[in-house]
Amino acid sequence: MKYLANVVTLQYSVDKCTGCGRCVEVCPRGVFEMGEKKVRITDRDLCMECGACATNCEFGAISVKSGVGCAAAVINGMLTGGEPNCDCGGGGSCC
Amino acid sequence: MSKDCCSAPSAKASDASPCCCEQPPTVTAEWTRSDRLGAIKCRVSNRFRMNYRVTPGLHKLGSPGPDSLVFVSANYKLSFDVLRRGLAGLDAWILVLDTKGINVWCAAGKGTFGTAELVRRITESRLAETVTHRRVIVPQLGAPNVSAARVRKETGFAVSFGPVEARDIRAYVQAGLKATPAMRVKQFPVRERLELTPMEVVPSARKLALVIAVLFVVFGLGAQGILFDDALPGTIAATIAGLAAVLAGAFVTPMALPWIPFRSFALKGVLASLAVVGAILGSIPVARTLPPALLAASVLFAVTVGSYIAVNFTGCTTFTSISGVKKELRIAVPAYLVGLGVSAVLVVVYKLQQWGVL
């Protein structure tokens, strides 16, 4: 299953990649695969912006604006002008 | 210091105080009847789920030794139980992080399952004195907030990311801590989507029942007070709309997710709602007696609310991005406001007709 096309904030800079393969290991969506000496992206639209790759890239080759939150949290953020907030408050309905 | 703080993991809420006794509690891989019951209750009761916890800290599975593997988990008991079951046949250490009772993936997103908490637990549990090797196995879905490099720098322990699903752990261990590409990808099969639907249906049905109760009063409003006969057609229309919205947004959309056209959840919700409200209106004869204004309001309300509930399911899926949800909502929220506004106008038109004003 794939979500909207051309929306994700994932950026990969091939120059900084050392081919360590950590991103291939941590990505739950199969966005990365090992190439000759460096990693390459299979399909950017598969990315769900969890941020596992960027957190674990020691070489700063990957950046992604990650975030969690249900639509209600995003709407709250839109209304209050802040970021989506996943603290559903006092142990309410939380994921 | 007292020793009873280290009681075996229980379903009761436990505080985050660190363990103070020498011996970590021992657990087994088998699930008892109450474990199985708990796993079901987690899917239907929010209150139960939020308090279904184990004590953070080090646990023994079977009789592990100094060279046994160390697996990291969350203190949501269902996460811990699924790991235990996946480790059947192995003697291992389980290091439980305090994630406030939230599962690994969500806790990694929120920040409670992360580098700092892992470093703290490794240090506090004196893991370096318990095992001779220097490696911990962290669930792959914890990776969004666990920096393997920083954990190694701060504790000396290397991090291996285990497979996404605990059922693949034994194969992963047998292969020398190597996961196949398939073990690295999170799937979202029908069974998992079905498990999530009760927590979608129940809260939205509860809210809509309240809305229908309020609408009953509005529809019954007349010069003589609130009349049941006057309230009936409007309440029927509202009930049909509410039922269709919940069924379409909270059940049909999650279940039929890959087969409903469009990638946008808002649009999937619109299609599902139209299908469900159409099916309900077509199958109950009383629907045909509703005045046109009410009928239109009913369909519009069902589509608007059904789409909203569907778009909220993005928070439960394993493949939607926050950028995508924001893009959808920039268009959908104004559309929802228009939908609700027009529904309200149609209800007012119907009431004015009922009062003989129009």
Residues B275 and B343 in one domain: yes
Amino acid at A3: Y
Which residues from chain A sit within 8 angstroms of residue B326, using beta carbons?
A: 74
Name the domain boundary from B163, B184, B205: B184
Q: How many residues does chain B have?
A: 358
Residues B179 and B202 in one domain: no
Amino acid at B184: R
Subunit contact A4:B327, Cβ cutoff 8 A = yes
Residues B314 and B342 in one domain: yes
Which residues from chain B sit within 8 angstroms of residue A46, using beta carbons?
A: 319
Give the chain B residue nearest A56 (alpha carbons).
Answer: B147
Tell me, yes or no, whether A32 lies in a domain: yes
Helix axes B265-283, B322-354, angle to 10 degrees: 30
Tell me, yes or no, whether A31 lies in a domain: yes
* Angle at B139 (CA atoms; ends B133, B145), nearest 5 degrees: 100
B39 CB-near residues (< 8 Å, 6+ apart): B31, B78, B81
B212 CB-near residues (< 8 Å, 6+ apart): B235, B238, B239, B242
Residues B133 and B216 in one domain: no
Residues B95 and B242 in one domain: no
Interface check A94 vs B, CB under 8 A: yes
Nearest chain B CA: its distance from A41 CA (Å)? 15
Name the domain boundary from B133, B168, B184: B184
Per-residue pLDDT at B5: 43
Per-residue pLDDT at A79: 79
Helix axes B33-44, B190-220, angle to 10 degrees: 50
Quote the number of domains for chain A: 1
Per-residue pLDDT at B325: 95
Shortest CB distance from B322 goes to which of A2, A5, A68? A68
- Name the B residues in 130-169 with CB < 8 Å from any A CB: 140-141, 143-149, 161, 164
- Name the A residues in 61-80 with CB < 8 Å from any B CB: 65-75, 78
The three-state secondary structure class of B69 is coil
Range(s) of the domain holding residue B127: 4-184
CATH number at residue B64: 3.40.50.11600
Which residues from chain B sit within 8 angstroms of residue A75, using beta carbons?
A: 329, 333
Residues B32 and B171 in one domain: yes
Residues B65 and B180 in one domain: yes
pLDDT in tens, A13-26: 999 999 999 999 99
Which residues from chain B sit within 8 angstroms of residue A94, using beta carbons?
A: 46, 50, 102, 106
Which residues from chain B sit within 8 angstroms of residue A52, using beta carbons?
A: 140, 143-144
Per-residue pLDDT at B200: 92
In the numeric block, the tokens 């229980």 are attached to B10
Mutate to test the interface with A, among B263, B325, B330 (most CBs of A within 10 A): B325
Quote the number of domains for chain B: 2
Mean pLDDT of A60-89: 77
Helical (H) or strand (E) element with B225: strand B225-226
CATH number at residue A63: 3.30.70.20
* Rounded distance between C-alpha atoms, residue A90 and residue B3, angstroms: 31
* Rounded distance between C-alpha atoms, residue B254 and residue B310, angstroms: 8
Residues B77 and B179 in one domain: yes
Residues B43 and B84 in one domain: yes
Name the domain boundary from B184, B216, B250: B184
* Rounded distance between C-alpha atoms, residue B159 and residue B169, angstroms: 15
Range(s) of the domain holding residue A38: 11-80
Q: Which residue has the higher pLDDT, B358 or A4?
A: A4
* Rounded distance between C-alpha atoms, residue B186 and residue B140, angstroms: 10
The mean pLDDT values, 10 residues at a time, for chain B of 358 residues are 42 44 86 96 92 97 98 97 97 97 94 97 97 98 98 98 97 97 96 94 94 94 86 95 98 98 98 98 92 96 97 94 95 97 96 88
Per-residue pLDDT at A86: 56
Residues B204 and B337 in one domain: yes
The predicted model scores a pTM of: 0.89
Tell me, yes or no, whether A93 lies in a domain: no
Interface check B245 vs A, CB under 8 A: no
Residues B166 and B225 in one domain: no
Residues B221 and B170 in one domain: no
- Whether residue A88 has pLDDT greater than 90: no
Instruction: Please state, rounded to an integer, the average pLDDT across all residues of chain A.
Output: 87
Subunit contact B311:A71, Cβ cutoff 8 A = yes
* Rounded distance between C-alpha atoms, residue B135 and residue B125, angstroms: 14
